Amino acid sequence: MNFDTRKYVIIAFILIVGVIYSIRLLFMQVIDDSWALRAQEIAEKRKEISPPRGAVYDRNGRKIVSNRTYYNLMMKESEIVNLDTVAFAKLIGWDVKRVKARFIEIVKGEGKYHNRHTNKTTSNYQKVRWYPFIKEMTLDEIANIAAHLGEFKGFKEEVTSMRSYTYANGANIFGYLSEVYKEEIDADHFYKSGNNMGRAGIERFYEKDLRGQKGIKYIVTSALNNDVGSYMNGKYDTVAKQGPNLNLGIDIQLQEYGEKLMKGKRGCIVAIEPATGEILALVSAPSFDPNLLVGKRKITKNYPKLARDPDKPLYPRPLAANYSPGSIFKLLQSLIALQEGVITPEFGFGCNKGMVGCHDHPSAGNLYDGIKFSCNPYFYAVTKKVLQQGKSKNNFIDAEQGLTLWAKYMKSFGLGYKFDTDITGLTSGLIPNSAYYDKWYGHHRWAFSTIRSISIGQGEVLLTPLQMANVGALIANRGWFYTPHFVKSIGKKGPLPQFKKKNITMVSAKHFDAIIEGMRRVVYVDGGTGRQARSADYIVCGKTGTVENKPKKDHAVFLAFAPMVKPKISIVVFIENAGFGGTWSAPIASLMIEKYLKGHITDTVKEKRMLDFNVYGTKQP
């Protein structure tokens, strides 16, 4: 190759490279605006403005969850000059060792970044950034040091907010907030280090609503990273929007009263408005003041104590506890039997204690008496008629077919699955089906005689107290219910779509009249087991239950709704190890009903007896 040829090759190579670089430069500057934005970031600082969290109100407009102003003491290492550690430690009430340890903790807390291209690891900590040195200081705490901060370069105060609970009640409903983890920041860029998010209850379920929308403020900075003004006079700034308020169906004063009644007891109270499915009260006993878990400092101090408490105050019993429902389950057995046509309201059966133990009462001559006396042999007979209808000559096949049908009815009553509701921590309870018993006894190796304890709500049947209260609501409504829920509106939007859907059971409305009349007789007719729930001002329909709990003392349960016509409240009271449901759960339910319907208590003697009753055996604070 001669010299001229080589010259043209070199020129061509230079031209090709130049064209490639020109095209790439054009792409970076004109088409791909990410490079322009990156260049802009060198001269501008994008500051995120966090909005206040949405507040929470009860059904009567009482503010029950709000935001309270707190302060963070911030530090920026690049601005700290000749720090007098001894004087600074004295100002904030720490010792020098703790101050030095806090600086190290901040650096370590930012973690490290590994560059896979260079295989080098560097700290994410930046000396030019502000970091919280002390978090969650009260007004009094920051006031004690604010006047002296000017003596310590590189420190300033920053306003923040945390939750405040007006009432010391409803902890298992509201949940709590805590700081986000690195994985959560990576997954959702709304959050940055030091932000909080909902960890339980409605704070967790409605997190994305309550947190609001962040605002953005662009600030022009100098080469030394000092703020010199607003970019374009704020043309591109956006305003932070507070999260919408949540309006609950909860009556906070009813909740407060329920927690008062359950002092010294383990168990729960759940009250629902039948017409809407709105939860009026959800008491988990023992409970605790939700203000104990406000902020990292209080969580660090109080959460371990609550977690170690043997009575499990953090455990949401109404949502998560699976209890045998006992005799309140007999109401559902009756409904299925009526719908299947295997009994009529006039069906009678002798109280044969040779079949199963029962308390002393006359034989039930009809369904009303069966419910009033809560006769165990009567409901063994009723449930056997449902499960063994003689549709197959083979007794085992007949039982399998009967139980499969029975389980479908139970599902239509909202049992055996988790409600699609607006709180976390729910469990499904247990409604056994044929597959369940096949695992235990083998296929076609069991019949009604094997599983007969389910007739009276014992054995394998398990319900959550929320499901129990909803049973009362669907009976009050004569065959339908809305999914129980807490929030009746998010701002002005109303409840979530799933709470507007009416769930229809498999039992016709006409069959509920007999059940409701039986429940009325439980409370108002001599021989009824729920006489302590009576009211002269309205009719209470109820059903007692005493749940076998060997070797310990039985659990007490009472299910009720009131008034009989146009019911406004359905309630269940479940007290662990209390004994007979009519003695303890029924009067507490009646007090809750009166508090809700009338706003005050007339039978103060009954109220005092319930307040003084202590399952623990010692007076509780």
**What is the per-residue pLDDT across 282-306, written as a single tens digit (0 to 9) for each?**
999 999 999 999 998 899 999 999 9
462 has a pLDDT exceeding 90: yes
Pick the CATH number of 252-612 from 3.40.50.261, 3.30.160.110, 3.40.50.300, 3.40.710.10: 3.40.710.10
pLDDT for res 31: 52
19 — pLDDT class (breaks 50, 70, 90): low
pLDDT for res 362: 78
pLDDT for res 354: 62
Nearest-angstrom CA–CA distance, 147 and 595 = 51
State the average pLDDT over residues 81-97.
94
pLDDT for res 557: 97
User: Shortest CA distance to 521 belongs to which of 269, 331, 352, 270?
Assistant: 331
Domain spans of the chain?
48-248, 252-612
Beta bridge partners of 131: 75
Nearest-angstrom CA–CA distance, 584 and 574 = 9
223 — pLDDT class (breaks 50, 70, 90): low
Same topology, domains 48-248 and 252-612? Answer is: no
pLDDT for res 317: 96
pLDDT for res 4: 62
pLDDT for res 158: 87
Can you give 339-386 as a three-state secondary structure string?
HHCCCCCCCCECCCCCCCCCCCCCCECCHHHHHHHCCHHHHHHHHHHH
Mean of pLDDT over the chain: 89
219 — pLDDT class (breaks 50, 70, 90): confident
Residue 558 or residue 243, greater confidence: 558
pLDDT for res 17: 66
Percent of the chain at pLDDT > 90 equals 68
* Cβ–Cβ < 8 Å for 479, 454: no
Range from 158-162, 308-312, 527-531 carrying the lowest mean pLDDT: 158-162
Token pair in block for residue 233: 């006079």
373 has a pLDDT exceeding 50: yes
Residue 43 or residue 360, greater confidence: 360
Residue 350 or residue 87, greater confidence: 87
514 has a pLDDT exceeding 70: yes
State the average pLDDT over residues 170-192.
89
Global pTM value: 0.86
CATH topology of domain 48-248: Penicillin-binding protein 2a (Domain 2) (3.90.1310)
Nearest-angstrom CA–CA distance, 105 and 109 = 6
User: Shortest CA distance to 202 belongs to which of 564, 490, 551, 472?
Assistant: 490
pLDDT for res 340: 97
For helices 376-387 and 395-412, angle between their N-to-C axes, nearest 10 degrees: 110
**What is the per-residue pLDDT across 381-414, written as a single tens digit (0 to 9) for each?**
999 999 999 999 999 999 999 999 999 999 999 9
Range from 169-183, 431-445, 498-512 carrying the lowest mean pLDDT: 169-183
352 — pLDDT class (breaks 50, 70, 90): confident
- Is residue 454 classed exposed, middle or buried when 0-12, 13-18 and 19+ CB atoms within 10 A define those classes? buried
